[in-house]
């Protein structure tokens, strides 16, 4: 039997080769479609295919998509999700719609990966820099105006226990300003796919569940706290259901602070 270490070496190699091969394809797609696709939707879809290809080459992982995937992928949504692992980005990329990711600046420094993120219009965030945070939210609004969804982890960082942390309100403020619905999604199982402090991949059956959109019609900035909690509650409920379906014990989700940002 092949060990997890050997499978992990293969899987990292496969990811690197797939990314190297796909980067020029992404660049060509962006150049060809630029005149009629200002939001880089097609180039972005090509980039997310890297995750789909890699999962098929990695025998340690099985990823599934469930729930209510939007019928019109070009209708923009503010997509929000809980955050279990770095692998969440690979898992959520299996949802058949393009989303521009709000990602920490370190990812943009990775060869090939960072170049592709720049080409497709993903959004850079320097953690701890308030000016960068303001600029990032402005760029989120720009992508939404170009009819492309935006993906944000409102917890800000990965949960250590699987329990939901406080949700920051930036994504929900932008959604109301841009007039786009919230699309909550829940991920479960990605924590096992890449165990913390271990370079090796783990065996994982991870699932991303797309929930019902939340309308922002008629809402104002004064409704941001309630909208934030509505999305958080929907994700918490979905996670509880997903854990029950797997026979996993429930977790006690943290109560969000009233002044969460």
Residue for token pair 């890699």 = 54
Assigned domain for 257 exists? no
Quote the pLDDT of residue 156. Answer: 85
Q: Looking at the 3D structure of the chain, how many domains does it have?
A: 1
Quote the pLDDT of residue 51. Answer: 96
Q: What is the pLDDT of residues 144-189, one digit of tens each?
A: 999 999 999 999 888 877 789 899 999 999 999 999 999 999 999 9
User: Is pLDDT of 261 > 60?
Assistant: no
* Bridge partners for 194 per DSSP: 201
Assigned domain for 123 exists? yes
H or E segment and range at residue 81: strand 78-81
Q: Taking CA 257 as the corner, what is the angle to CA 81 and CA 77, rounded to the nearest 5 degrees?
A: 30
- Percent of the chain at pLDDT > 70 equals 97
Quote the pLDDT of residue 1. Answer: 61
Those residues whose C-beta lies under 8 Å from the C-beta of residue 157, and which sit 6 or more positions away, are 83, 165
User: Is pLDDT of 208 > 90?
Assistant: yes
Assigned domain for 85 exists? yes
In total, the chain counts a number of residues equal to 261
d(CA 99, CA 41): 8
Quote the pLDDT of residue 130. Answer: 81
Q: What is the pLDDT of residues 88-114, one digit of tens each?
A: 999 999 999 999 999 999 999 999 999
| CATH number of the domain within which 46 lies | 3.40.1130
Report the candidate in 246, 150, 157, 166 with the shortest Cα–Cα distance to residue 207.
Answer: 246
Q: Are 90 and 234 in contact (CB under 8 A)?
A: no
User: Is pLDDT of 256 > 50?
Assistant: no
Assigned domain for 9 exists? yes
Assigned domain for 261 exists? no
User: Is pLDDT of 117 > 90?
Assistant: yes
Quote the pLDDT of residue 154. Answer: 95
pLDDT mean over 252-257 = 64
d(CA 64, CA 60): 14
Assigned domain for 172 exists? yes
d(CA 240, CA 242): 6
- Percent of the chain at pLDDT > 90 equals 82
d(CA 52, CA 45): 11
Average per-residue pLDDT for the chain: 92
Assigned domain for 135 exists? yes
Q: Are 235 and 184 in contact (CB under 8 A)?
A: yes
Within 13 Å and on the Cβ side, how many CA atoms surround 136? Answer: 23
H or E segment and range at residue 184: strand 182-188
Give the domain extent around 157.
4-245
Q: Are 192 and 248 in contact (CB under 8 A)?
A: no
* Bridge partners for 102 per DSSP: 123
d(CA 106, CA 261): 22
Query: CA distances (Å), 168 to each of 5, 91, 139, 172, 228, in order?
Result: 37, 22, 17, 8, 8
Assigned domain for 256 exists? no
User: Is pLDDT of 26 > 70?
Assistant: yes
Per-residue pLDDT band at 250 (split at 50, 70, 90):
confident
d(CA 219, CA 254): 26
pTM for this predicted structure: 0.92
User: Is pLDDT of 73 > 90?
Assistant: no
């Amino acid at each position: 039997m092949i060990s997890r270490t050997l499978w992990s070496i293969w899987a990292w190699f496969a990811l690197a080769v797939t990314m190297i091969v796909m980067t020029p394809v992404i660049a060509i797609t962006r150049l060809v479609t630029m005149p009629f696709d200002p939001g880089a939707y097609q180039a972005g879809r090509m980039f997310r295919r890297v995750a789909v290809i890699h999962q098929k080459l990695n025998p340690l992982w099985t990823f599934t998509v469930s729930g209510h995937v939007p019928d019109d992928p070009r209708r923009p949504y503010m997509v929000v999700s809980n955050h279990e692992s770095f692998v969440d980005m690979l898992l959520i990329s299996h949802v058949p719609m393009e989303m521009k990711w709000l990602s920490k600046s370190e990812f943009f420094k990775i060869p090939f990966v960072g170049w592709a993120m720049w080409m497709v219009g993903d959004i850079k965030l320097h953690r701890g820099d308030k000016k960068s945070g303001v600029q990032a939210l402005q760029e989120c609004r720009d992508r939404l105006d170009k009819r492309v969804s935006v993906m944000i982890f409102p917890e800000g960082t990965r949960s250590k226990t699987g329990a939901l942390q406080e949700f920051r309100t930036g994504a929900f403020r932008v959604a109301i300003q841009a007039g786009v619905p919230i699309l909550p999604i829940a991920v479960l199982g990605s924590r096992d796919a890449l165990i913390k402090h271990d370079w090796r991949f783990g065996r994982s059956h991870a699932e991303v569940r797309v929930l019902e959109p939340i309308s922002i019609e008629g809402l104002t900035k004064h409704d941001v706290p309630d909208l934030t909690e509505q999305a958080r509650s929907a994700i918490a409920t979905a996670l509880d259901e997903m854990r029950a379906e797997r026979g996993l014990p429930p977790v006690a989700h943290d109560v969000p602070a009233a002044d969460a940002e």
